[in-house]
Structure 1
Amino acid sequence: MKAREVRALIKVKPPRIDRRAARLDACITIEDLHRLARRRLPRPVADYVDGGADEELTLADNVAAFRRWQFTPSVLTDVATIDTSTTLLGRRSALPLGLAPTGYTRMISSPGEPAVAGAAARAEVPYVLSTMASTSLEDLASHRGLKDADRWFQLYIWKDRDLTAQLVRRAATAGYRVLEIAVDTAVSGYRVRDARNGLTIPPHMTLKGLVDIGMRPGYWTKMLASPALEFANVSGGAGGEGYTIDNITKQFDPSVSWDDLARIRDSWPGAVVLKGPLGPEDTVRARDLGIDGVHLSNHGGRQLDRAVAPIDLVAPARDAAGQDFAVFVDSGVRHGADIATALALGADAAFIGRPYLWGLVAGGEAGVDKVIGLLSDQFTRTMALLGVTNIDELRKRGRTLLKQH
């Protein structure tokens, strides 16, 4: 074979000048992005993202629970056109996917919440801002390109009920469409990795942690060049000295009752969702109270260890509440096939947290785009291989397409 014939067969891909883009190109799975993120983060921060409560049994089981389901596809059906769009609480979403709330995102990566929300807006999926965010409700709402984004707000109920009411009013005024009320934080879970690393906010590191940060100057330089970190929605608390990881969760009210939820429901102009590990009885009680949906979650394994995996609550919640009630699920979603499993069991959408944080660390806003793109491609391909062409069909036929092992 002549040299020119060999050259015609072997196409050498030119190197990417943009190193960040090259790194993202090399990531073809969510786990690839996870590994890249851990290399770029100081260990205490990486452990803050990846860690769970106590023995981390729930943390591991959340992922394993999705993998206990197997597909039984239909064949010889026309899947030339796949429509992944759906409606979530009255608004179209390009995917049955949402980006769940995560606290203190700018500590993890300096672009923070606006970068995550920007990627969600481009993908036409909802993003939930946390009470514990490092970007305020108002700042996110006014950020370029996010005015018409599908913005939701996750509310923690505080002992200071005036502050709670103020947060609800601020979210409504700033145009947040859905209010998610977290109901799994009566007390904070005990996160062993954070305790061992001495992680607090603002950072109060062990000597080992400081050495690890020093080995990653790129991370530290970006943090120093960024605005001061704070819990932006509730800054100036704790007697004017500011909140820390150690004391802020002590401000959450462990005496919250269903009556409190009813009062918040009455004060919010839009849809209300309860977020936590809700079983069928609590799901029905929420529906009867006028709540619009449940977001089944065990906080990614960060609260009650040995809690049931939320994916295993989906079918009971759907059967108990009926079809005209929103059911969302997070904790353990790592692949587009997990989204398909969630919908086949009766969910309206699946939400992710850690995966988009890994993407944010790996490549900023483009990294979050990458995560959503990977999940979208995987989900679309899974639908085609299952023999379904749209979300309604997947949900209608879902349980015939699954078996548990």
Structure 2
Amino acid sequence: TIINAIPRPWWWYDFLTTPKLEFASLSSTGGTVGDLLNAAMDPSINYDDLKIIREMWPGKLVIKGVQNVDDARTLVDHGVDGIVLSNHGGRQLDRAPIPFHLLPSVVREVGHHTEVAIDTGIMNGADIIAAYALGAKFTLIGRAYLYGLMAGGRAGVDRTIQILTDQLVRTMKLLQVTSLAELGPQHVTQLTRLQPLRRDPESVREDTDA
């Protein structure tokens, strides 16, 4: 870094004269990012709170972080307009359920009553096509746009979107489909080698008895 900076005196000028980078959300709260997250998370929140929010908010209500079919069904019963299957990138629990594996079951269970979106594991345009083919109405792309923003500002974000668009078009051409409406589960193969092993209930019972 020093060698790269020596022939660029304006780097030093900017470094010494501009304010240091800070999290906007921490500018008035103090503490670390971890402190802020700990204060923001309330473990006592439950479906009764969601009912109150639904009564207070007349607009669209979408819940992000759904990780099983039962919760998806309960959320639909509480009147949400959409759910986002997500384990938040596996940052906190890297063995949390994989949203892409949950997608077919959740869509089959609640897809006729609410819109299902997916987050986590979207690495390229082909992943977006696969998610849509399995019933997702929308996908989040995680940090990709941030990488583009850091690399090239607005032009970097535009380039990120263009890359994903090119991959989307290429994938659809390879599948020989001309519109999203033609996509279906028959266009996707879900790999099973990364799925967690499921123990047989009988063997669990035997271990417990032992």
**Alignment TM-score, normalising by the size of structure 2:** 0.78
Q: Which residue in the other structure is 1:291 paired with?
A: 80
Q: Which has the higher contact order (CA 8 A, sep 6+)?
A: 1
Larger helix percent: 2
Counterpart of 1:245, as a letter, is V
Q: Which residue in the other structure is 2:109 paired with?
A: 320
Take 1:360 and 1:313, find their aligned partners in 2: how far apart are those partners?
Answer: 31
Structure 1 residues 221, 317: CA separation in 2 closer, same or farther (over 3 Å shift)?
Answer: farther
Runs ≥4 residues deviating over 3 A:
214-224
> What are the ranges of 5 or more consecutive residues in structure 2 without an aligned counterpart?
6-10, 192-210
Structure 1 residues 254, 216: CA separation in 2 closer, same or farther (over 3 Å shift)?
Answer: farther
SS state of the match for residue 261, structure 1?
A: helix
Q: Which moved more, 1:370-379 or 1:315-324?
A: 315-324
SS state of the match for residue 404, structure 1?
A: coil
* Contact kept? 1:342, 1:350, Cα under 8 Å: yes
Shift of 1:363: 1.0
> What are the ranges of 5 or more consecutive residues in structure 1 without an aligned counterpart?
1-211
Q: Which residue in the other structure is 1:392 paired with?
A: 181
Take 1:355 and 1:280, find their aligned partners in 2: how far apart are those partners?
Answer: 28
Structure 1 residues 384, 284: CA separation in 2 closer, same or farther (over 3 Å shift)?
Answer: same
Q: Which residue in the other structure is 1:358 paired with?
A: 147
Q: Which residue in the other structure is 1:300 paired with?
A: 89
Shift of 1:314: 0.9
* Contact kept? 1:333, 1:339, Cα under 8 Å: yes
**Alignment TM-score, normalising by the size of structure 1:** 0.42
Instruction: Provide, for residues 295-352 of structure 1, a one-character-per-residue CA deviation record: whole Å limited to 9, x for no partner.
Output: 1111111121211221111111101103341111111211110000001111011111
Counterpart of 1:342, as a letter, is A
* Contact kept? 1:281, 1:320, Cα under 8 Å: no
Take 1:314 and 1:334, find their aligned partners in 2: how far apart are those partners?
Answer: 17
* Contact kept? 2:67, 2:87, Cα under 8 Å: no
Matching residue within 246, 251, 256 for 2:34: 246
Counterpart of 2:38, as a letter, is K
Take 2:14 and 2:53, find their aligned partners in 1: how far apart are those partners?
Answer: 42
- After superposition, residues 3-402 of structure 1 pair within 5 angstroms as 221=14, 225=18, 229-232=22-25, 236-237=28-29, 242-251=30-39, 252-394=41-183, 398-402=184-188
Matching residue within 162, 183, 189 for 1:403: 189
Counterpart of 2:161, as a letter, is I
Over aligned residue pairs, what C-alpha RMSD do you find?
Answer: 2.6
Shift of 1:289: 0.2
SS state of the match for residue 97, structure 2?
A: coil
Larger strand percent: 1
